[in-house]
Chains A and B, each alone.
Chain A
Amino acid sequence: MADWGPLLTLTFLTTLLISGIRLAIPIFLAALGEIITERGGVLNLGLEGIMLAGALAGFMTAYAAEQSATPWLVGLAPWLGLGAGLIAGLLMGLIMAVLAVSLQTDQVVTSIMLVILGQGITTYVYRQQFSSLTARVTGMKPVPIPVLADLPLVGPVLFNHDLVTYGSLLLLAASLFFLYRTTWGLNIRAVGEHPAAAETSGVNVVAVRYGAVLLGAALTGLGGAVLTVAQLGIFNEGITAGRGWIAVALVIFARWRPERAFAGALLFGIATALQFRIQALNLEAIPYELLLMLPYVLTLLVLLQGGGRSVAPAALGRAYVKE
């Protein structure tokens, strides 16, 4: 009989929730990006490849800055890394936009190709640049919010995170405002629902779709960089381990709403954290491979609840051909 005692302590719960929130952030950023892209009517399934590109670009930039031994560069290293991840995402998004929006290629085919390209290029560049596999970056330190961080349980769980985590919460608020309260958001949604009607009322469908794809890919690339630069401090081939695909699944579960995507990402973060913790306890009763499966099984289960295809943007996945 396994000893379940360690699972029931307050410390365990606290650390579980802390790392659950951390692990949720990269998936949330990618899912948020995809929501914006899909709201604009473009189905970009290439998140896994874009995240990988962001993860490597971010890692390499932060690593180079740290190795430079110039104090201010070292200090800025994580931020430069995040910026590089964002730009890498933007570039991947540009490929998608040129092909799928301008040339009207099949969006499914194009974005699957983007995944493969991202995997190939990151593996190639990483092998080319790092002969030893021990390269690390320091990552980001938690910034406790005064007074609030000292509260029991709530303090460490909610008010002792790195700036990226706080920033992601701001992004959630900003995205809700952007999508539902600004003209740009309205235009994106209109283009995703009925591009021809949007065009008639003076919206440049192609420009809006470029914007939606680029913004979405930039956020996805940022998510990848958060993973390597702020959290893990290392890069491996395929380090995203399906997080990009999980983000795609979350968009459906979230019914294309940012706040639901955040809740879904939290669920995954906590499930993943739980799997790490149980592994660390070394309970013989549960093979660790089955724990590693958990996030992927959970994705399928979550989709069983998701359904909701009917609320997808009406023009999702369809190229827009100007009459």
Chain B
Amino acid sequence: MSDSVSPSSVTAPAEAGATGVLASRRRAGWLRQIAPLLAALAGVFLGLLAGAVLILLSGADPVAAYLAMFQGAFGGRRALMETVLKTTPLLLMGLGLTVAFRGQVWNIGGEGQYLMGALAGAVVGLGLQATLPPALVIPLMLLAGLVGGALWAAVAAFLKLRFQINEIISTLMLNYIAEYWLLYLVRVPLKDPESFLPQSAQLARSVRLPTLGDTRIHVGFLIALALVPLVYLLLWKTPLGFRIRAIGASQTVARYAGMSVSRGIVFALLFSGALAGLTGIMEVSALHTRLKAGILGGYGFSGILVALLGRLHPVGVLVAALFFAALTIGAQTMHSVYGLPMALAQVIQGLVVLFVLAADALARRWMMTR
């Protein structure tokens, strides 16, 4: 088993096709182009089908429930707005993780980085909102969010490079540590003296993220959208992006080619951490307006699924983020109409990725044979 095969399930088909001598034996070009897409669609379909079985077992009508879901996500201006609002954090997290996963750096500490970004940004906002103009405070808050998330990821990078501690475990442990740390801060030193609840003071209305027109959609969505082409350019048009992808394909080969593997790993971790931190401060600034226990939206893990379902390509991640946001928003309608738990959205997300993985592996096999 060579290094070139192990990361195959998440690398883009064209690249996987370029490796190995089997290329000449593979099926015709156009089939090779669309087979992964067909596999993804089949995976999504099967995931939704498995979800339907679960709905049926819960005693509800799957067709009606899915219709309610669709209606809840896309039926009307308000529904669309909520879906777009939900797409923003998923897209940001997914884009950051795309860069990390491309380098086979398994950052699953998105939640901790999100919280630390939220913390850093909110502290800056609360500290400066009375003294500086909002036009200055808001960018400073976002910057602090980026830095907070990146620093938390840097702990994992340090542990990996200095002590060979696997980033999967360290980033995960750092999630729990960040969570309890934040709980302590909002209960004691950062607690709003006006409130009985363990929560920080509220951010002034002036330092919340500006919204677009009369919608609830905030500029964070535009930032996330702008990052789609930027991440693409980073990965495919810069030497750094090439290095990350090379490390992802094979660390050994990248090392022999004279690349600094450790610098690539550090960048991948810090970049994904920074975007997670940015997501954190954006969600706090635009939605929660203060630090408290409930600010974590589970984006650490759904971001992982979004990145994987998007096949680690920025455009794919955009589509996957929209799909997952629609599932989540739609699940709220399904919950209120049919009483089905909202966790169903998470189940379907997991099932979809499961079947996409399986379909992808089968398609790959099929392409390898005559």
Residues of A within 8 A of B (CB): 45, 95, 98-99, 103-106, 108-110, 112-113, 115-117, 119-121, 123-124, 127-128, 195, 241-242, 245, 248-249, 252, 287, 289-290, 292-293, 296-297, 299-300, 303-304, 307, 309, 315, 317-321
Contacts and interface: CB of A to CB of B under 8 A. Distances in A.
Interface residues of B, number: 52
B349 A116 contact: yes
B1 A319 contact: yes
Interface stretch (B3-11, B74-82, B124-132, B265-273): B3-11
A296 B174 CA distance: 8
Contacts of B340: 128
Contacts, number: 143
Interface string B276-310: 00000000000000000000000001101100100
Interface of A is mostly: helix
Contact of A113 (B163, B169, B173, B308): B308
Interface in B144-202: 159, 163-166, 168-170, 172-174, 176-177, 180-181, 183-184, 187-188
A315 B5 CA distance: 14
B118 interface: no
A119 B346 contact: yes
Contacts of A287: 184, 187-188
Given A299-B169, A303-B165, A113 B9 contact: no
A120 B308 contact: no
17 contacts: A104-B9, A105-B357, A109-B10, A109-B308, A110-B357, A113-B357, A115-B301, A116-B346, A116-B350, A128-B58, A249-B173, A252-B166, A299-B173, A303-B166, A303-B170, A307-B163, A320-B1
A293 B181 contact: yes
Given A124-B343, A303-B170, A319-B5, A113 B354 contact: yes
| Nearest 9 A/B pairs, CB to CB | A120-B346, A127-B341, A117-B350, A289-B184, A103-B361, A123-B343, A120-B347, A124-B343, A106-B9
B350 A121 contact: yes
Given A245-B169, A307-B163, A106 B8 contact: yes
Contacts of A242: 172-173, 176
Contacts of A292: 180
B358 A304 contact: no
Contacts of B365: 103
B259 interface: no
A199 to B, nearest CB: 12
Contacts of B301: 115-116, 119
Nearest to A45: B168
A117 B355 CA distance: 12
Contacts of A320: 1
A117 B351 CA distance: 7
Given A117-B351, A124-B344, A112 B176 contact: no
Contacts of B351: 117
